[in-house]
Amino acid sequence: MNNVNESCAGKNKHHMTDEVDLSAVLRPLYKAKLLIFFVTLTFICGGLVYGIIHPNIYESKALLSPVSGDNSSISGVAGRLGGLADLAGLNVKEAGGTRTLVARELLKSKTFIKKFIDKNDMLVPVIAAKGWDHENEEWIFDQGVYIEQTGKWVRDDGGVGSKPKIIEAAEKFQKQNLNVSEDKETGLITLTVQSYSPDAASEWASLLVDMINKYMQAKDIAESNKKLEYLNNQLAETSNSAMRQVLYNLIEVETQNLMLANSKDDYVFEVIDPPSKTYEEVKPKMILIIILAAVLGLFCSVLLVLIFPKLSGSKFLD
- Please report whether residue 15 resides in a domain: no
Residue 147 DSSP code: E
Tell me whether the omega of the peptide bond preceding residue 28 falls within 30 degrees of 0, making it cis: no
Please list the residues that pair with 213 across neighbouring strands. Answer: none
Question: Would you say residue 243 lies in a domain?
Answer: yes
Q: pLDDT per residue over 231-280, tens digit each?
A: 889 888 888 888 888 888 888 888 888 888 788 788 899 999 999 888 77
Instruction: Tell whether the model's pLDDT for residue 297 goes beyond 70.
Output: yes
The pLDDT tens digits for 13-58 are 444 444 446 666 677 777 777 888 888 888 888 877 777 777 889 9
* 199 lies in the same domain as 73: yes
Predicted confidence at residue 227, as pLDDT, reads 87
Within a 10 A sphere around the Cβ of 283, how many other Cβ atoms? Answer: 16
* 113 in a structural domain: yes
Residue 83 shares a structural domain with residue 110 = yes
18: in domain: no
For residue 191, being part of any structural domain is answered with yes
User: Would 31 be classed as within a structural domain?
Assistant: no
The verdict on residue 44 lying in a domain is no
Per-residue pLDDT reduced to its tens digit, 117-142: 999 999 999 999 999 998 898 999 99
Q: Do 75 and 155 sit in the same domain of this protein? A: yes
**pTM strictly above 0.95:** no
Q: Is there a single domain that holds both residue 142 and residue 290?
A: no
Query: Do 208 and 317 belong to one domain?
Result: no
> Going by C-beta distance under 8 Å and a sequence separation of 6 or more, which residues neighbour residue 29?
36, 302, 305, 306, 312
Note whether 257 and 290 are same-domain residues: no
Give the tens place of pLDDT for each residue, 56-84: 899 999 999 998 754 444 444 445 555 55
| 185 φ/ψ angles, rounded to the nearest 5 degrees | -80, -45
Task: Kindly write down the DSSP assignment for every residue of 223-265, as one continuous string.
Answer: HHHHHHHHHHHHHHH---HHHHHHHHHHHHHHHHHHHHHHH-S
Quick one: 72 and 132 in the same domain? Answer: yes
Query: Are residues 151 and 84 located together in one domain of the fold?
Result: yes
Worst-scoring range by mean pLDDT, 49-53, 156-160, 164-168? 156-160
Both 224 and 247 in one domain: the answer is yes
99 and 172 both lie in a single domain: yes
State the pLDDT at residue 160. 57
Instruction: Give the pLDDT band of residue 167 (cuts 50, 70, 90).
Output: very high
- Let me know whether 289 and 168 are in one domain: no
Rounded CA separation 318/315 (Å): 9
In a domain, 49, yes or no: no
- Domain housing 313: 284-318
The verdict on 124 and 243 lying in the same domain is: yes
Mean pLDDT over the full length of the chain: 79
Stronger pLDDT, 144 or 283, i.e. the higher one: 144
Number of domains in the chain: 2
